[in-house]
Amino acid sequence: MAPDSIFEDEAEVFHDIEVLEEDYTPDTILCRDEVMTEYINVLKPIYKGRPPQNAFLYGDTGVGKTAVTNHLTTQLEADIRQKNEDIERQHEQSEQETEEQTQPAVEPDAVDSAAPVDLTIVKVNCQNLTSTGERTSSYQVAIALVNELRPPKDMIASTGYAPQAVYSMLYEEMDALGGTVLVILDEVDRIGADDTILYELPRARANEKVENARIGLIGISNDYTFRSNLSPKVKDTLCETEIKFPAYNAMQLREILRDRASRALYDNTYGDDVIALCAALATRESSGSARKAINLLRRAGEIAENDGRTTILEADVHEAKDDLEYGDMVDSITDQDAHKRYVLAAVAHLSNADATPARVKEVHRAYRAVAESYAADPLSQRGMYNHLTKLAMLGFLTSHDNNEGIKGGQYYEFEFSDEVDRSKVREAFESMGHSWHDVRIHGS
């Protein structure tokens, strides 16, 4: 039967596509028993009503840091709710029994030692705090935390307050809550060089900034260098416990994928070959990222559906890989700071004018025109050169070392690496809401 609408697919492979969405929290966390045990030990004191611990979680992207955190904090909240209800019931029972009998049936001590636990969890992703993609700062994280704790009508603006005033507001909110306040900072490396908040929070009670609240801090990061660059006093507190999330191997990814696929896809739409290929590609190309494996499966399913098929083929997975790589590169460009993006735009214009590989002087001329077209102050050639070499180090650009002997001297030339091209840079600009400016390349 022909579909009634142009938006209808003749063939469908997804039974529940949401199971493959980024924000889906799986009911069961597979293949993470060891880290879960370590993590549970960090959270145990909270359940027991003792002072919370601080922890630093690290591991490559897509290895379950957020998924495990969400899973365990949800479980912690549910268990504490249950514990508090039990305690309340016990209290009521013992009060009743005291009224009825002269001798209470329940040991009074058993009730007193089990005081209800008051827990508030505040989560902030430090990546999303600036619209321009520049580095976040402790100040912005503090503002985000204040706003998480306040009702919408009392939220504060992201600029215009003295840092100490923001910290005071934060402590006030936390003190008003009382009990244990567990602050979880995802992508904490985005905080950049100013890590004030990371030593302010765990020490707030000792420094008498809060009286009623006990603050625990969990930082999550996929940047290995971040930890080593932390100031020693932050390292001592935040990294009280460190939990490393290792990359998944292909076998583990297969297990995770089989579980997801069985919920997301109709039976018989995929075979074990497709699962194995997604797992193998994610292991090889994306250092064991479950996110990549799941995204590959999802994209491959969409490709099959768009093609009117109810079976996902290995070829769909290969096509999905190409599609995702394109998107990943655009995202990585978006993640760069403004001057690096201007440099990439400059190389895009040069490449379009067939003027690459280009010497630093030529890149600088194009870069200056790009920066000015976005009303930004261009850096000097030396300043820009630092960004240029960093971009080459990160794999966006390739540099050629030319040596023309005594006459020409030694010089470097730059061009896009195989993974980058003009359309990706342009798409990155547009995805950030910046229109693409066609800059004239002089002298080319």
Instruction: Work out the end-to-end distance of the chain between its first and last CA atoms, rounded to an integer number of angstroms.
Output: 59
Residue 175 burial (C-beta neighbours within 10 Å; 0-12, 13-18, 19+): middle
- For residue 4, the number of C-alpha atoms closer than 13 Å in the C-beta half-sphere is 0
CA–CA separation, 69 vs 206, rounded Å? 27
By the rule CB under 6 A, 317 interacts with ligand ATP: no
Query: Could you tell me the sign of the dihedral formed by the alpha carbons of 404, 406, 408, 409, in that order?
Result: positive
Each residue 141-160 as x (binds ligand ATP by CB under 6 A) or -, in order, gives --------------------
- Whichever of 27 and 438 has its CB closer to ligand ATP, that residue is 27
Smallest distance, ligand ATP to C-beta of residue 374, A: 29
Q: What is the CA angle 392-398-404, rounded to 5? A: 115
Annotated ligand binding at 47? The verdict is no
Kindly tell me which residue out of 26, 52, 202, 357 binds ligand ATP, with binding defined by CB under 6 A.
26
Task: Write the single-letter amino acid at 97.
Answer: E
Smallest distance, ligand ATP to C-beta of residue 260, A: 7
CA–CA separation, 177 vs 140, rounded Å? 21
Smallest distance, ligand ATP to C-beta of residue 4, A: 33
Kindly tell me which residue out of 62, 219, 301, 357 binds ligand ATP, with binding defined by CB under 6 A.
62
Smallest distance, ligand ATP to C-beta of residue 32, A: 5
Residue 153 burial (C-beta neighbours within 10 Å; 0-12, 13-18, 19+): exposed
Closest to 187 in 3D by CA, of 141, 121, 248, 242: 141
By the rule CB under 6 A, 32 interacts with ligand ATP: yes
Q: Give the total of residues touching ligand ATP (CB under 6 A).
A: 19
Smallest distance, ligand ATP to C-beta of residue 31, A: 5
Strand partners, 119: 180
By the rule CB under 6 A, 29 interacts with ligand ATP: yes
DSSP string, 195-226: -HHHHHHHHTTTTTS-SSEEEEEEEEES-HHH
CA 134 and chain centroid, separation: 15
By CB under 6 A, the residues from 208 to 237 that bind ligand ATP are: 222
By the rule CB under 6 A, 54 interacts with ligand ATP: no
Annotated ligand binding at 274? The verdict is no
Smallest distance, ligand ATP to C-beta of residue 26, A: 4
By the rule CB under 6 A, 65 interacts with ligand ATP: yes
Q: Which region, judged by CB under 6 A, interacts with ligand ATP, from 63-71, 83-91, 151-159, 273-281?
A: 63-71
Annotated ligand binding at 196? The verdict is no
By the rule CB under 6 A, 72 interacts with ligand ATP: no
Binding site residues, ligand ATP, CB under 6 A: 22, 26, 29-32, 59, 61-67, 222, 256, 290-291, 294
Binding-site residue set: 63-67, 248, 260
